[in-house]
Structure formats: C-alpha cells, structure tokens
Amino acid sequence: MTWDAAMRTAIELAHNGPATGVNPRVGCVIVDADGATISEGWHRGVGTAHAEVDALSKLGEGAARGATAVVTLEPCNHWGHTGPCSEALIEAGVSRVVYAVSDPGHSSGGGAERLREAGVEVIGGVLADEVESFLDDWLTAARLGRPHITLKWASSLDGRAAADDGTSTWITGAAARQRVHEQREASDAIVVGTGTVLADDPSLTARGDAGELMRTQPTPVVVGMRGVPKDAAIFRHPNPVIFEGTHDVHEVVADLHQRGFRRVYVEGGPTLASAFVEAGLVDEFAIYLAPTLLGGGRLALGDIGVGTIAEQRLLRIQSVEQLGADLLIRAVPEPSRESSQPSQNTEQSQREGN
Ligand SMILES: NC(=O)c1ccc[n+]([C@@H]2O[C@H](COP(=O)([O-])OP(=O)(O)OC[C@H]3O[C@@H](n4cnc5c(N)ncnc54)[C@H](OP(=O)(O)O)[C@@H]3O)[C@@H](O)[C@H]2O)c1
C-alpha cells in the first residue's frame, strides 16, 4: 500500500494550524486495516493537543487498535505541555506509524525509535520533500537553534533602496506592497533599524487591501541605540515594541529566539540588512525590484564584508514572480557560502512550548 494519499490529507490538515509561533503545523490521519480513514487531527498551537492525540481523541476505546497513524512530523517523545505522542500511539494500540519528516529537536525527537522498541512498524520519509518545504521555517529554526530569517528589501532596478533625500515610500506598487503585508502576517516578528523608524515612521502592521489590520500581527522590533519619538507610528502597533539596544545582530537573534519567535522578517534598512547578510544570518531573501531608476548612493546593501570577488555571497534564485509592474525575487544563500552551523541553542528542546 502507498501512503501518499493519506499523507497528502495529513498535510492539508496541518494547514489548519497557526502559521506562526513556537510549534510546527502538524496533521494526522488514522487509517484502519482496510485503508479507510477513521479519524483526522491537527495541532492548533502551543498548549493544545498534538495532531496524533487530537486524531486519537475522536475515536472510541480500542478503535485505533491495529490501525496506521499517518503523520506529517515524526511523533514527539517528550513531556511538554502534553505527554509524548509516541506513548499515546503505543497505548492506543496502533500497529504502524507513517511519517514524513524526522523531528530535529534534541528532546522532542526520538519518537520513531521509541515506537519501534514497542513493536510498532515505523515508516519515515513519505512525501518528505513536500513536508520539508511546508515546514521550512520551523525546521530551519529547530535545526539551527535560532529563528528562520527572511530579509526583505525593495529597490530600484539600479539597486537603490531610497532616493537621494532618503525618501523610499513608495518604490514598489500596490501588488508588491500587499505581498509584503502577507509576508509580515506569516512572521512572528518584523525587525527594522532605528534609521528606518526615524526616516519612514512605519507602523509595521500587517494590513489588508483596504488598510484593515490582518488577523495575526507580528511583533515590531527596533534595533539600534537611538531613541524613537514618543509619537512614532510603531507605538500604535497592537503588539508592544521590542527595542534591541545593540548593533550585534547575533545578540538580537538570540534574544528573539529566547522570546519564542521562530519566523523573523527583517525589513531593513540598508545598514541593518547589511549586518544580517555579513553575519550569515539570512535564510531567505525577498527582493522586490521596481522598474525605476534612482541613482545616487542609497544602495540596498552597504558593506557586507565582501572585499574581493572570491568573497562574493552567492545566492540561488528560487522563484521570480511579477507583481503588477514589479518583480519579487526569492533567493537563498548557496550553502557552501553561508555558515549553516547550528548555534549553541540547538541543545534546547525545539518544541519547548508543547
Ligand atoms: N527600500 C527599502 O526596502 C527600505 C527599507 C527600509 C528603509 N529604507 C530606507 O533606508 C533609509 C534608512 O537607512 P538606514 O541604513 O539608516 O536604516 P536602518 O538600517 O534601519 O538603521 C540604521 C541604524 O540602525 C542602527 N543599527 C542597528 N544595527 C546596526 C548595526 N549592526 N550596525 C550599524 N548600525 C546599526 C544604527 O543606529 P543607532 O545609532 O540608533 O544605533 C544605524 O544608524 C531610509 O531612507 C529609508 O527610507 C528603505
């Protein structure tokens, strides 16, 4: 029997979970010995039942005996807010567990081994690529022990992020700006430098077409030593602003991870963006290119530590999309050029909020 169809359903179920926060989105389908689906479940966020337990809870006593649990992420093996899913599956009497991607967490991983020890057949890697791509941000955070970081900027075709007088609203058109709001909504935090707050007075909210606030709002984060005017628009953000009074981006990232942020969207400006690039702390670039020329010296990036061509930061383009008159280029660092070493935080539980 192939488990692809059940895994596809599990992936669809996983989409019901919250896109932000500490925990991954996970879906689970329970299939009986004849291949019929008898229950479905998904994880609704920190402190709530995991997908496997959610699916099991909808079944009567003994109904899962001999069944197969198809789940997008390896069942966890630790006590968080809830008990280990591996134990719940063993107790329910399932005879087989099929999963897509291994749990990279040091304390939450190991569920597959525990299940095998208890005599449950375990099959891993089913539709792994699809789930890897769906959980990309969360997996990066879990593997590296820091948030997944997207760096966004908007520039003219000649690579300028602002006109000579510092004005930059707006370089891109409405469709591109709307996409930025969607990307903000899918992030836990938006990070800017003090220079951007002082120049642009951004509100850093995620807004819809008509300017209305979207359901999920990222937390605004301002990096730098200077103060911000009391009447700055960020103070009207629904979430309290976090001020990081440092120029050390590693420190900023460690603090954001500590606060439970797993998806961070860095919106510049050029000074802060350059510091993130130089530190090798960018997992994805979202570059909005507008068909306009600005000239002058306000480049999208400044010094990123490239003194000679051999030190260039190579990227791999993942997609190019036209949004109105603008282009959105999504790119990732070529792995050989960026440090992908886990930080010391990797030892921590990666699903600590369970
Ligand atoms: N096109 C775009 O996508 C875009 C996006 C944002 C901004 N902008 C434009 O960019 C311009 C502002 O540029 P900017 O470079 O001044 O903005 P910025 O990067 O937001 O702010 C720079 C300031 O942040 C602080 N800072 C934080 N981390 C730092 C680090 N690692 N190294 C050095 N300084 C650090 C410093 O201020 P302290 O002295 O306070 O420490 C520094 O002066 C404006 O014209 C704005 O319109 C364009």
In 3D space, the residue among 75, 101, 104 whose CA is nearest the CA of residue 89 turns out to be 75
Q: Is there a domain that residue 354 lies in? A: no
Both 172 and 103 in one domain: the answer is no
Residue 346 confidence (pLDDT): 41
Q: Report how many domains make up the chain.
A: 2
Q: Of 81, 103, 134, which closes a domain?
A: 134
3-state helix/strand/coil string of 106-136: CCCCCHHHHHHHCCCEEECCCCHHHHHHHCH
Q: Do you know the residue count of the chain?
A: 354
Q: Is 191 in the pocket of ligand 1 (CB under 6 A)?
A: no
Residue 83 confidence (pLDDT): 78
Q: What is the mean pLDDT of residues 221-241?
A: 97
Q: How confident is the model at residue 107 (pLDDT cuts 50, 70, 90)?
A: low
Cβ 27 vs Cβ 71: under 8 Å: yes
Q: Is there a domain that residue 51 lies in? A: yes
Q: Is 249 in the pocket of ligand 1 (CB under 6 A)?
A: yes
Both 246 and 189 in one domain: the answer is yes
Domain CATH for 130? 3.40.140.10
Both 158 and 263 in one domain: the answer is yes
CA of 119 to the centre of ligand 1 (A): 57
Check pLDDT > 80 for residue 339. Answer: no
Q: Is there a domain that residue 280 lies in? A: yes
Note the pLDDT tens digit of each residue in 47-72. 899 999 999 999 999 999 999 999 99
List the domain range (segments joined by +) for residue 286. 143-347
Both 19 and 45 in one domain: the answer is yes
Both 218 and 285 in one domain: the answer is yes
Model's pTM, two decimal places?
0.86
In 3D space, the residue among 113, 40, 29 whose CA is nearest the CA of residue 71 turns out to be 29
Check pLDDT > 90 for residue 354. Answer: no
Burial of 225 (0-12, 13-18, 19+ CB in 10 A): exposed
Cβ 253 vs Cβ 146: under 8 Å: yes
Q: Of 134, 153, 173, which closes a domain?
A: 134
Q: Is there a domain that residue 352 lies in? A: no
Both 97 and 246 in one domain: the answer is no
Asked if the peptide bond before residue 170 counts as cis, ω within 30 degrees of 0, the response is yes
Both 86 and 192 in one domain: the answer is no
Both 329 and 202 in one domain: the answer is yes
Residue 344 confidence (pLDDT): 43
CA of 179 to the centre of ligand 1 (A): 22
In 3D space, the residue among 299, 286, 271, 344 whose CA is nearest the CA of residue 163 turns out to be 299
d(CA 301, CA 32): 56
